[in-house]
Chains A and B, each alone.
Chain A
Amino acid sequence: MNEVTEYFSDIFKGVRSLLKGMSVTGYYFLHPKEIITQQYPENRDVLKVPERFRGELVMPHTADNQHRCTGCSACQLACPNGSIIIVSDRIETPEGKKKKIIDKHVYNLAMCTFCNLCVRACPTDAIVMSNDFEHATYDRGDLIKILNQPGSKVLEGIEE
């Protein structure tokens, strides 16, 4: 007799536990406002990306095409993956001195791990992490970027 009641009570308890679980999923079925799924490509306009989000390394330029990079290679040394290469150039200043200036700041996005060490290492705050995270391209070559814009110059007074 005891075994029989135990058998049926086990069935009852089992079914009850399943129904309790179902009540949770049923609750969310009836309360669609509590669902937090985001419809990603459609919600691009309202998508809020945090300010600090590390999406891509960029070099901000002023309105008259000036940047703050002196070409000191601190970021290149700080980078753990070798994704930054500074190509420098030598010019002669009006005073007749030879000076090293930046030619190209080559940034390989494909090798970057977004660790922020280059931004921390930069003594002149020339590079920052932008919030842009949509990096997909059809050509791998597009991921190698030159951060200083063509014809750009170093902002006056940065080097002192």
Chain B
Amino acid sequence: MTTAAIDTSETKEYFINMGPQHPSTHGVLRLLLTLEGEIIKNVEPHIGYVHRAIEKMCEKSSFQQIIHLTDRLDYLSCHMNNEAVCLAVEQGLEMEVPERVKVIRTIIDELNRISSHTLWWGVMGMDMGAITSFLYGFREHEMITEIFEETCGARLTMSYNVPGGLMFDIPPHFQKMVKDFLVHFKKKLPEYDTLLSNNIIFTERTKGIGYLSKENAIAFGVTGPSARASGFACDVRKLKPYSAYHKVNFKEIIFTEGDCFARYKARIDEMWESVSIIEQLIDNIPEGDYFVKTKAVIKLPVGEYYQSVESARGEFGVYIVSDNKKNPYRVKFRSPGFANLSALNKIAQGCKIADLVAIMSTLDLVIPDIDR
């Protein structure tokens, strides 16, 4: 009797669809994985499930109306997106906004960055199997959301910027609210380290996993904390200071490890830097107007305008082509999520399928930002 020998010397590649409905893709992203056993050979992202043609919609909108559309790109760093459009329009109008506007914009930017990173931290923990961190991350996120709610009336999609300044002045107790939050946050941030950064299960799953070299980070156009963890200094706040960033001292967080844990640490350290930026500005908000009156119908002179800002995920750019009409001729958004996603294949090749969740978490993908 001869048994049909199972040939184990040769394994075959097979395919798995991860998503579009998968909890750790944080939205509707579909990854077509080519696997050999448990080892990832290829990752092919399929996007377009939440494509809303926002760039095309911008061509039909006035310059004031574009702003509320940018809220819906990367909803976690909506204020930076709004600011990028406003700065581009102000650049076209050759308008100088008051110092007060610049400082308030910078403070809200940094609060937005902290809120984005706290939410990311919570979700990252949940992807790694710790629901606790999800709830703790939302605690601080919620406190910032309340400050935004008091300031501009919206919690997530703020639309606080308008070309020429801000929609409202800050409320009288704004400084107190922010200071109270910072006192609370500085006490709670070490808790994040105790819960997750030093947790043995978490560090084992992230240290040395998902290596992205500096060369690849540059080649794929990866920006933000994900690239700075690979040693690529790309902070727009340092390289091309906008708003009030030239006035503050802060450190650009750079790690050289390039693994998941470095990307994680870069974000945690960035929160400390954001706290220090807010502390430098909160007592020195200059008096003045919060808004420069613009015409009801804004027309930009014929030309091209580009403005990039550092959003929570990387460089967010707005490119406006104007033909002196009330609507832009063409608008292009350079979203950080799209460029960061492109590097996923390079990072994930050779990793285990379980590591892919960690890699995606640390790239901090927001799908509406990728699809637009």
A in complex with B: yes
Q: Mark B200-222, 1 if CB is under 8 A from A, else 0.
A: 11000000000000000000000
Q: Please state if B142 and A36 are interface contacts (CB–CB under 8 Å).
A: yes
Q: From A17, A24, A51, A115, give the contact of B68 (CB < 8 A).
A: A115
Which residue of chain B has its CB nearest to the CB of A36?
A: B139
Q: Decide yes or no: A54 and B200 within 8 Å by CB, A21-B194, A115-B159, A116-B159 being known contacts.
A: no
Give the residues in chain A near B157, CB-CB below 8 Å. Answer: 113-114
A78 interfacial contact with B, CB 8 Å: yes
Q: Please state if B198 and A17 are interface contacts (CB–CB under 8 Å).
A: yes
**Alpha-carbon distance A25/B157, docked complex (angstroms):** 32
The smallest beta-carbon distance between B139 and chain A, in angstroms, is: 6
Q: Please state if A121 and B296 are interface contacts (CB–CB under 8 Å).
A: yes
Q: Please state if B200 and A50 are interface contacts (CB–CB under 8 Å).
A: no
**Alpha-carbon distance A105/B334, docked complex (angstroms):** 39
The smallest beta-carbon distance between A33 and chain B, in angstroms, is: 14
Give the residues in chain B near A13, CB-CB below 8 Å. Answer: 200
The smallest beta-carbon distance between B279 and chain A, in angstroms, is: 23
B289 interfacial contact with A, CB 8 Å: no
Q: Please state if B194 and A80 are interface contacts (CB–CB under 8 Å).
A: no
Give the residues in chain B near A50, CB-CB below 8 Å. Answer: 146, 149-150, 153
**Alpha-carbon distance A18/B199, docked complex (angstroms):** 6
Give the residues in chain A near B139, CB-CB below 8 Å. Answer: 36
Give the residues in chain B near A129, CB-CB below 8 Å. Answer: 153
**Alpha-carbon distance A15/B199, docked complex (angstroms):** 9
A100 interfacial contact with B, CB 8 Å: no
B13 interfacial contact with A, CB 8 Å: no
Give the residues in chain A near B65, CB-CB below 8 Å. Answer: 78, 80, 115, 117
Q: Please state if A54 and B132 are interface contacts (CB–CB under 8 Å).
A: no
Q: Please state if B149 and A25 are interface contacts (CB–CB under 8 Å).
A: no
Q: Please state if B69 and A80 are interface contacts (CB–CB under 8 Å).
A: yes
B50 interfacial contact with A, CB 8 Å: no
Can you spell out 10 A-B residue pairs with CB atoms less than 8 angstroms apart?
A: A18-B200, A21-B195, A50-B153, A51-B150, A52-B152, A52-B153, A54-B154, A114-B153, A115-B65, A120-B167
Interface residues of A (CB under 8 A from B): 13-15, 17-18, 20-21, 23-25, 36, 50-54, 78, 80, 113-117, 120-121, 129
Closest 6 CB pairs of A and B: A52-B153, A14-B200, A115-B68, A80-B65, A54-B153, A50-B150
